[in-house]
Amino acid sequence: MKLDFSEYDWQETYMIDEIPQNDVWNNFATEKKLALEEQYKQNNMPKVCSKHYMALNPNINNEFEKYLTPYKDKIHHCNFLKLTPGYNLWWHYDSYSTFVHYNNITEEQAENIHRTIVMLTPWTPGQVLQVSDNTITKWNVGDTHQWNAYTWHGVGNFSFTDFVVIQITWIDK
């Protein structure tokens, strides 16, 4: 079954200048994100190479609802991420600025944030996910991968097809 992503409002995003200048939240998570951006700039990483698309606060229809069921008793948020052919999400850790901001998460609580991704497109040669020192390929639609706060990871798409996932950010209540 091929999933349909056409109804989503995909926002073009980059790993540099990702935080809107008119909407900077003064919190520890934003500071971490800005520090990573500075590291990319110091290493002359071309912003355009990190282009990806986010569907923020998506309307979850029936075909995706099943992926959120395990998180119904947790504080959680989800969005969709699409990485088109030829682009990368550089080596990074998630600071969860939006999640922290909207859920009033303290810096101490942030250590307990988790990220789960659900693969929504089948693996094709040229797509690779790395989480810490684990390289992941050959996934199927519906496979999940999870990591804890501040775990380094990245994804490359040098295939001919889109890489699409649901990102679920969550913390126990």
Confidence of residue 19 (pLDDT cuts 50, 70, 90): confident
Long-range Cβ contacts of 138-145 (<8 Å, 24+ apart): 141/3, 142/67, 142/118, 143/118, 143/119, 144/67, 144/116, 144/117, 144/118, 144/119, 145/116, 145/117, 145/119
Whole-model pTM: value is 0.92
Confidence of residue 7 (pLDDT cuts 50, 70, 90): confident
The tens digit of pLDDT for each residue in 37-95 reads 999 999 999 999 999 999 988 888 888 889 999 999 999 999 999 999 999 999 999 99
Confidence of residue 173 (pLDDT cuts 50, 70, 90): confident
pLDDT score for 1: 55
97 near 33, Cβ under 8 Å? yes
| Burial class, 56, CB count within 10 angstroms (exposed 0-12 / middle 13-18 / buried 19+) | middle
Residue with tokens 């990190």: 50
13: tokens are 């995003």
Mean pLDDT of 14-30: 79
Share of the chain residues as helix, strand and coil, in percent rounded to the nearest 5: 25, 35, 45
Provide the CATH number for the domain formed by 11-172 in this structure.
2.60.120.10
The tens digit of pLDDT for each residue in 122-131 reads 999 999 999 9
Backbone angles phi, psi at 30, to 5 degrees: -65, -40
The tens digit of pLDDT for each residue in 151-160 reads 999 999 999 9
Domains of the chain, by residue range, sit at 11-172
139: tokens are 């996934």
Mean pLDDT of 142-154: 96
Give the 3-state secondary structure of residue 10: coil
pLDDT score for 70: 94
Measured CA distances, 151 to 23, 91, 94, 115, 126 (Å): 26, 10, 7, 9, 23
Q: Identify the H or E element spanning 33.
A: helix 28-42
The tens digit of pLDDT for each residue in 85-95 reads 999 999 999 99
